[in-house]
Amino acid sequence: MSSEQLADGVNPLDAELAATWDILKGYSGTNTDLGIARRFGGAAAAYSLRDIGAMNGRVVRVRRKNDSTEEDFSANQVQAGVLEDFCDNVLTVGTAVNGTGAFNNYTLTNVSNSGFSADNSGGGTGSAGFPYTFKNGDVMIVTYTVTNFSSTSGLSPQIRGVTATSNVTSVAFGGTTFTSNGTYTDTLTATNDGTHLMFADGNTGSYTISNFAVTSHKTDGFVAKLYDQSGNGDDMSQTDTGKQPLIVDAGVQVKLENGKPAFKGDGIDDHLEASYFYSAGEVTAMSTFSVVSNRTDTGQEEAIISAGYGLSTTYPGFSIQLDRNTNSNPFEMRTANASGENETSILEIAKDGDILGSTFFTKDSTQLVRATTEDGSFNTIEATSVGAYHPSATSGKLRIGAIRSFAVRQFFGFFISEAIVFKGLDLRDEGIEDEINQFYNIG
């Protein structure tokens, strides 16, 4: 069979079929109608929030914070903002309850999941409200109607999120302090996890709440998995929910400065991991492409994508990273060869904001690093004293946002949209950077 034909005999160069053709069916050319991840024989690993090879399939799995539900999304859905809809998730409002402990002075009647009548004529602090769970950072919009309001000593209840019915200390702020009948709409922002939305006051009087509803509940979304668009099935995931990167922040999708979808780390322990990227043996060439956004200096080195990497023969490999110790924000490629030597190419890019960075490694002792500058042009540095590196079978796990060097470290705190690795290929002159920039318009 010709290399220009699929296994089923269809010519992939046919313009009517090129848009739906998949390199995994047998063709290994450089057809520009294919996503980047499926050209040049295919990337070794490719992760992105746009479609670079998934053929309109899923690109990311997102975990919603307020109920831990996980769902897969395609690139089209990510671009259309469907993640924000997914993370606007109203939970079940429970039947109204009285306060407990020191805050049970209300006489509560007519309870339902949308209202109650409260009387505090006996005096003392009282509270009443609804069981409703929320998480730190959540933003909730609540509506309710107040009738039968009566005060004998300055009654002025206010809704707040609390951690228990025995507590009136607010952990969700923004409620209206009402002193009359009316219909109210409040936006509550949580500063901690909570269990109830309660009205409370220490003055005497009575009131009725009706038509209570949570109309919007915006919560965080986290990357549970990035699907490998190379077709190799080396999906990048994080099962520890406390280490998952943020992709929706209080209901708002994380984006680069140019408005393209991204995800970000906390700089503490957030990162993603895939399976072993390579087996033992010499890697003769490699090309990487990454799109990130650096907003501030943090005084630390932070990884974009890596496999292994360390200063000993135990953890050889490579790391693409931002060194944010200085205002120059260098973009780096680091490798550790078979002798445990640290080979580094550091490019001073002097740029905050969106960055397109590329690295190219060849066995013949050349290492090239390029990254966009303030005006959108590329700065370039080439190292000529670099030796080929020899990853061991125990060091080759691929990671986004961290490296493995004796321990997992150098966690990222910046924004990432895309990371692609071609193994065994030096693609510095194939125009991939221009193609990526056509989508991201960095500069």
Q: What is the DSSP string of 240-278?
A: -GGGPPEEEETTEE-B-TTS-B-EE--SSS--EEEEE--
Listed in order, strand segments (DSSP E) in 269-391 are 272-276, 285-294, 301-308, 317-323, 331-336, 342-347, 353-362, 366-372, 378-383
Which of 172, 197, 218 is the endpoint of a domain? 218
Residues 60 and 190 in one domain: no
**pLDDT at residue number 395:** 52
Please report whether residue 30 resides in a domain.
no
Which of the four pLDDT bands, split at 50, 70 and 90, describes residue 84? very high
Q: How far lies 256's CA from each of 253, 337, 390, 414, 436, in Å?
A: 10, 34, 35, 10, 14
Written as six digits, the tokens of 364 are: 């013949």
**Which residues pair with residue 38 across a beta bridge?**
none
The predicted model gives 227-253 an average pLDDT of 96
Q: Which of 213, 167, 156, 157 is CA-nearest to residue 192?
A: 167
Domain, as residue range, for 132: 97-218
Q: What is the CATH number of the domain that holds 41?
A: 2.60.120.200
Which of 169, 196, 218 is the endpoint of a domain? 218
Which of the four pLDDT bands, split at 50, 70 and 90, describes residue 381? confident
> Taking the chain, what is the end-to-end CA distance rounded to the nearest angstrom?
44
The predicted model gives 360-380 an average pLDDT of 75
SS3 label, residue 186: strand
Residues 141 and 202 in one domain: yes
**pLDDT at residue number 276:** 65
Which of the four pLDDT bands, split at 50, 70 and 90, describes residue 284? low
Please report whether residue 235 resides in a domain.
yes
Please report whether residue 27 resides in a domain.
no
Residues 358 and 261 in one domain: yes
pLDDT tens digits for range 123-140: 889 999 999 999 999 999
Residues 275 and 205 in one domain: no
Residues 148 and 193 in one domain: yes
In this predicted structure, the answer to whether residue 389 has a pLDDT above a threshold of 60 is: no
**pLDDT at residue number 306:** 87
Q: Which of 247, 252, 250, 260 is CA-nearest to residue 400?
A: 247
Specify the pTM: 0.87
Which of the four pLDDT bands, split at 50, 70 and 90, describes residue 26? very low
Residues 271 and 132 in one domain: no
Please report whether residue 162 resides in a domain.
yes
**DSSP structure class, residue 76:** H
**pLDDT at residue number 14:** 35
Please report whether residue 25 resides in a domain.
no
**pLDDT at residue number 426:** 86
Residues 290 and 381 in one domain: yes
Listed in order, strand segments (DSSP E) in 152-299 are 158-162, 172-173, 182-190, 194-201, 205-218, 221-226, 236-237, 246-249, 252-253, 263-264, 272-276, 285-294
Which of 163, 185, 218 is the endpoint of a domain? 218
Which of the four pLDDT bands, split at 50, 70 and 90, describes residue 318? confident
Q: What is the CA angle 352-354-355, rounded to 5?
A: 95
pLDDT tens digits for range 39-62: 888 898 999 999 999 777 899 999
Give the rounded distance of the alpha carbon of 88 from its chain centre.
16
**pLDDT at residue number 297:** 66
**pLDDT at residue number 360:** 85
**pLDDT at residue number 90:** 98
Give the rounded percent of residues in the chain with a pLDDT score beyond 70. Answer: 78
SS3 label, residue 90: coil
Residues 207 and 231 in one domain: no
pLDDT tens digits for range 248-274: 999 999 999 889 999 999 999 999 999
Please report whether residue 387 resides in a domain.
yes
Residues 75 and 190 in one domain: no
Instruction: Go through the chain and tell me how many residues it has.
Output: 443
pLDDT tens digits for range 163-174: 999 999 999 999
Q: How many domains does the structure of the chain reveal? A: 2
Residues 389 and 290 in one domain: yes
**pLDDT at residue number 5:** 31
Residues 206 and 229 in one domain: no
Q: Which of 86, 105, 114, 112 is CA-nearest to residue 218?
A: 86
Cα 273 from Cα 266, distance rounded (Å): 16
Q: What is the CATH number of the domain that holds 159?
A: 2.60.120.1240
**pLDDT at residue number 99:** 97
Please report whether residue 8 resides in a domain.
no
**pLDDT at residue number 60:** 98
Which of the four pLDDT bands, split at 50, 70 and 90, describes residue 390? low
Supply φ then ψ for residue 400, to 5 degrees. Answer: -110, 125
**pLDDT at residue number 98:** 98
388 versus 441: the higher-pLDDT residue is 441
By the 8 A CB rule, do 75 and 50 touch?
Answer: yes
Q: How far lies 112's CA from each of 127, 142, 200, in Å?
A: 16, 16, 18
By the 8 A CB rule, do 223 and 71 touch?
Answer: no
Residue 41 burial by CB count (10 A; 0-12/13-18/19+): exposed, middle or buried?
middle
**pLDDT at residue number 23:** 32
Residues 275 and 405 in one domain: yes
Please report whether residue 17 resides in a domain.
no
